[in-house]
Amino acid sequence: MIDFKQIEAFVWVAELGGFRAASEKLNTTQPAISQRIAAMEDIMKTRLFERGARGIKLTEKGQELLSHAQRMLDMRNEMLRVAKEQNAIRGTLRLGVAETIAHTWLHELIEYLSDAYPALVVEIHVDTSFVMRSQLALHHIDLAFAVGMSQDPKEQHLHLCDYPVIWAASPLLKLHGRPISVRDLAPYPIITYPTVSLPHRAVRNALIESGIKFPRIYGCASLSTIVHMTRRGIGPCAIAPQVMTEELEQGKVCVLDVRETLPDLSFYACWLDSPDSHIARTVANVARSIAQNASPSQPPPA
């Protein structure tokens, strides 16, 4: 059986890049770390590290297993923290959520919190990342699942997940099924996230760089409205495909093969560090485990 000492040794050797550094971190000897790694490799019937003259590096399988090991340690630490702080997770958590998260794995998080922390009441506020950052700074919410990180030194953050942003359109526009450029989209208004969002800026930059001096972009804070307008053929959209999987599967909206790609949406759990931020930190760690296990599906080919 693999034990947590072996998992811990694996994670710290990978993080610190050596057995000696890991032994110092874990207050043990280098031979002890080597034995733990060797035992883990023997149990799993796979090599975790390649050893060479220049040091060690993770094998391909070791790299694949590292994220799982990190999550196991996170969950163990969370369990120990809860055991030590009985009834600490109670009261009300004001949670700000980007609508993309609300469309994907938020329900899993709420179900988990309901079972694990029945004394915790969660108030959900669905809004844009821009608005949530203002609400967080004003202490109107306790935790936000938003795009990107703030420069505020008081803000703590934890990476949750990444979602691609695709170009898509109704088949009525006859833009699908062939390679096109962003200039081919210019005759139509492009529907996407609000003006202050990363996708909106990326769409605008792509159009301007392609020579479109006055791009038409409809920014909208409601993802369901973006999907509805796209289905009606008002224009192509730039959006995360996970929020319209049904429309894509049914062919009501098609992925476009546009040469100019758009940056991913990187979501973070964000909260202000304070003596009473334990609940926000705990929920953020749980959310990260759920988000990473959700494994965003790839959009269908254009």
Max distance between CA atoms of the chain, in angstroms, equals: 67
Q: Residue 249's beta-bridge partner residues?
A: none
Q: pLDDT-derived band of residue 86, with 50, 70 and 90 as boundaries?
A: low
Q: According to the model, what pLDDT value does residue 52 have?
A: 76
pTM above 0.85, yes or no: no
Which of 152 and 37 is assigned the larger pLDDT? Answer: 37
Instruction: Please compute the mean of the pLDDT values over residues 178-183 and round it to a whole number.
Output: 95
Q: pLDDT-derived band of residue 292, with 50, 70 and 90 as boundaries?
A: confident
CATH number of 91-161+266-294: 3.40.190.10
Q: What is the pLDDT of residues 268-284, one digit of tens each?
A: 999 998 767 889 999 99
Q: According to the model, what pLDDT value does residue 297 have?
A: 47
Which two structure tokens, joined as six digits, stand for 237? 């959209």
Which two structure tokens, joined as six digits, stand for 101? 């998260």
**Chain center to CA of 295:** 9
Instruction: Please compute the mean of the pLDDT values over residues 61-84 and round it to a whole number.
Output: 83
Q: What is the pLDDT of residues 9-59, one digit of tens each?
A: 989 998 888 888 888 888 899 899 889 989 988 888 889 888 877 778 898
Check for a shared fold between 91-161+266-294 and 166-258: yes
pLDDT-wise least confident of 26-35, 162-171, 221-230, 254-263: 26-35
Looking at every residue in the chain, the average pLDDT score rounds to 90
Using a pLDDT cut of 90, give the percent of the chain over it. 61
Tell which CATH architecture fits domain 4-84.
Orthogonal Bundle (1.10)
- Cβ-in-10-Å burial (0-12, 13-18, 19+) of 277 comes to middle
Whole-angstrom CA distances from 301 to 90, 184, 255, 280 are 45, 19, 7, 38
CATH 3.40.190.10 fits 166-258, yes or no: yes
Instruction: Please compute the mean of the pLDDT values over residues 187-201 and round it to a whole number.
Output: 94
Q: According to the model, what pLDDT value does residue 122 have?
A: 96
> Is pLDDT at 226 greater than 70 in this prediction?
yes
> Is pLDDT at 93 greater than 80 in this prediction?
yes
**Euclidean distance between CA atoms 293 and 170, whole angstroms:** 31
Domain coordinates of the chain in residue numbers?
Answer: 4-84, 91-161+266-294, 166-258
* Locus of tokens 């999550």: 71
